[in-house]
Amino acid sequence: MRTHTGRGRGAVGTVLAKPGRVNANTLVVGGTGLIGREVVASLYARGVVPRVLTRNPGRAARLLPGAWLIQGDLRARSSIRAALEGVRDVLLALPRGFEETRAAAWLVDACEAAGVRRLVLISSVRPDRGDSRLRQALRGVLGRRAAGRRLEARARQSGIETVILRPANLYQRDELHRVELVEGRYPQPLGARGVNRVDARDVGLAGARALLGDLAPGVYPIVGPQAWTGAECAALWSAALGRRVRYVGDNIETWARRVTARLPDTSVEALRDHYRELQRGGGRVDAEDLRRCAEALGRAPIPYARYVASAAGRWLSRPTPYLASDSSGAWR
């Protein structure tokens, strides 16, 4: 076990194992999250160990053995400045909703001041593809259209080379509902219009390629091969689990009540809005998005059916201790 002491205030780092070359020039913010963990795994696969900013190094060390952990909080500017010392390439996989705050824009200022050369932003795919022009215009007037784009705009204005990755809905989002799925219900409120979905490992791969300079600056939708309705997702899980799984996601408020204990409040709030958009307009992508995604990945994206088959296989062979998902009777 090796210990690195950061030069700046608040920087502490412990390397627990040595899966590759430590790259002190690379910082992943949000590296312990659903997407960030896949970015770090893809960097490891290329022999690169990045710095990872986390509020909780103890938990992070369990999630990311071998990472160079920098303790810090996005709300504490001094710890961000310390984490950025000597860093050349930064990936931001910020908590959902944070990208709209002033603090997120300040993060770009801090990167500029620290002399960062390349910035990779994990944004999200436009949720307005299925909307009429009138509805898009109305959303623009009401300010909703800007959601998820303020940080992108600030990064583009900066002098930093910027790669923006816009992932679609992640297959791995289903794991939040593992208990319900095993019980025969699919609750993610995807609606009936069709939503493009992608594997988090593909987002991780694109993130690592962007950080390592394999992608030219620009915007890349990170999307899967096709769009899925809630009912179609349920049907796929039915086949993989060998039992009937019903789609029960149309009521977003029921979904929000049920996941409150599993997600931070800010995520539930942001996701509630996101699902409203998806139920209204869907989330389909076009051929150009698929072409740009293949460019970002250097291969075709992983199909949903492959992810579902492998997750169902894992769950069936290693059942979790039984957790009743519902004592109130909702969703039944």
Ligand X SMILES: NC(=O)c1ccc[n+]([C@@H]2O[C@H](COP(=O)([O-])OP(=O)(O)OC[C@H]3O[C@@H](n4cnc5c(N)ncnc54)[C@H](OP(=O)(O)O)[C@@H]3O)[C@@H](O)[C@H]2O)c1
Q: Interface residues with ligand X (CB under 6 A)?
A: 30-36, 53-56, 60, 73-75, 93-96, 99, 122, 124, 167, 169-170, 173, 267
Q: Residue length, the chain?
A: 332
Residue nearest to ligand X (CB): 33
The DSSP annotation for 111-171 comes to HHHTT--EEEEE----TTTTS-HHHHHHHHHHTGGGTTTHHHHHHHHSSSEEEEEEE-EEG
Q: Residue 43 or 93: which CB sits closer to ligand X?
A: 93
Place of tokens 């990311």: 64
| Shortest spacing between CB 332 and ligand X, in angstroms | 26
Among residues 152, 153, 156, 154, the alpha carbon closest in space to that of 165 is found at 152
**What does the DSSP 8-state code read for residue 319?**
P
| Shortest spacing between CB 31 and ligand X, in angstroms | 6
Q: Residue 171 or 247: which CB sits closer to ligand X?
A: 171
| Shortest spacing between CB 103 and ligand X, in angstroms | 9
| Shortest spacing between CB 6 and ligand X, in angstroms | 15
| Shortest spacing between CB 244 and ligand X, in angstroms | 26
Distance CA 152, CA 273 (A): 19
| Shortest spacing between CB 134 and ligand X, in angstroms | 26
Distance CA 190, CA 309 (A): 20
Cα angle, residue 237 at apex, residues 233 and 240 outer, rounded to 5° = 140
| Shortest spacing between CB 156 and ligand X, in angstroms | 17
Distance CA 272, CA 293 (A): 26
Find the DSSP H helices in the chain. 34-45, 57-63, 77-84, 102-113, 133-142, 150-157, 178-183, 200-211, 230-241, 252-259, 265-281, 287-297, 304-317
